[in-house]
Amino acid sequence: MAGMRIGAHVDPAAPLDEAAARGADLVQFFLADPQGWTAPKPRSDAGALAGGQVDVYVHAPYVINVATLNNRIRIPSRKLLLSHAKAAAAVGAKGLIVHGGHVGGGELAKGFDNWRKTFAYAAESGGFPLPVLIENTAGGDNACARRLDALARLWDAVGEYDEVGFCLDTCHAHAGGEELLGLVDRVKAVTGRIDLIHANDSRDPFDSGRDRHDNLGRGQIDPELIVAVVRAAGAPVVVETPGGAEGQGADISFLRDRLSR
């Protein structure tokens, strides 16, 4: 575990400075308003981000929902996801994280097919230029990646594409009703892979459906269970926890300490 890369989700203004303030090996950030439909703009620090010692991951905007049956959201979501993938590749990102989405009150099967069409849409222009890491989500009864049975159906639809990967969020799993004990093995039995871990505690109880992160050891999840997930996955880790450099730095130090034992 000594070589495991651990970092944090940071403000996008100066990601490398934020990494230094936390002692982080990697950073994750947004390239545009996470609640908006604005396409990302070129960054003046793209060369430094792409050529530095700090690994970079980009999180796609929360508004993206390629699974939805509403074509006024689905079609712009496909276009925005591809534009963020291209912009993420330009800063040397190792992956673009995007939530699994949901279909509202519609048929979930159509949501999975819409995910397949998203990768087919990207393939028309040469495919996604970096791994697209689909993240499990905490809430929604018609979510494509909340529970493992739905995730299995999603992977049946998109698993053939080389660019698809998976990001496992511990808070989302806990709040979404999936036990953390043995979760890595259960996920890998579905996806065959875990490319990134979001190591977050949860402010809310198991199966609450609420996505509210907390610092490790301060929420509802036994922190040793989070450590066990990280250890079993063996993937890079992002903490998306509160407290800025101090709070996230403490979470990074906690993980490093436990993983070194």
Whether the CB-CB separation of 208 and 175 falls below 8 Å is answered with yes
What pLDDT was estimated at residue 19? Answer: 98
pLDDT at 170 over 90: yes
Going through 110-202 in order, the beta strands assigned E by DSSP cover: 132-135, 164-169, 196-198, 201-202
Any domain includes 212:
no
Whether the CB-CB separation of 132 and 96 falls below 8 Å is answered with yes
What are 217-238's pLDDT values in tens digits? 999 999 999 999 999 999 999 9
Any domain includes 228:
no
Instruction: Write the CATH number for 74.
Output: 3.20.20.150
Q: How sure is the predictor about 35, in pLDDT bands with cuts at 50, 70 and 90? A: very high
Closest Cα to residue 164, out of 194, 137, 138, 139? Answer: 194
Q: Which domain holds residue 48?
A: 10-170+183-200
Q: Tell me the backbone φ, ψ of residue 255, rounded to 5 degrees.
A: -65, -45
What pLDDT was estimated at residue 141? Answer: 78
What are 94-112's pLDDT values in tens digits? 999 999 999 987 799 999 9
What are 69-96's pLDDT values in tens digits? 999 999 999 999 999 999 999 999 999 9
Helix (H, G, I), strand (E, B) or coil at 174: helix
Q: Tell me the backbone φ, ψ of residue 51, rounded to 5 degrees.
A: -105, 5
What are 109-154's pLDDT values in tens digits? 999 999 999 999 999 999 999 999 999 999 987 999 999 999 999 9
Any domain includes 114:
yes
What one-character DSSP code corresponds to residue 210? Answer: -
What's the whole-number mean pLDDT along residues 54-60? 98
Place of tokens 């699974």: 67
Whether the CB-CB separation of 171 and 211 falls below 8 Å is answered with yes
What's the whole-number mean pLDDT along residues 235-251? 98
pLDDT at 1 over 70: no
What's the whole-number mean pLDDT along residues 176-189? 98
Any domain includes 217:
no
Q: How many domains is the chain built from? A: 1
Any domain includes 227:
no
Any domain includes 3:
no
Ranges of H-type helices in 9-147: 15-22, 46-51, 71-90, 108-123
Integer Cα distance of 7 and 88 in angstroms: 17
Any domain includes 70:
yes
Any domain includes 222:
no
Q: How do strand 55-59 and strand 26-29 relate by DSSP bridges? A: parallel
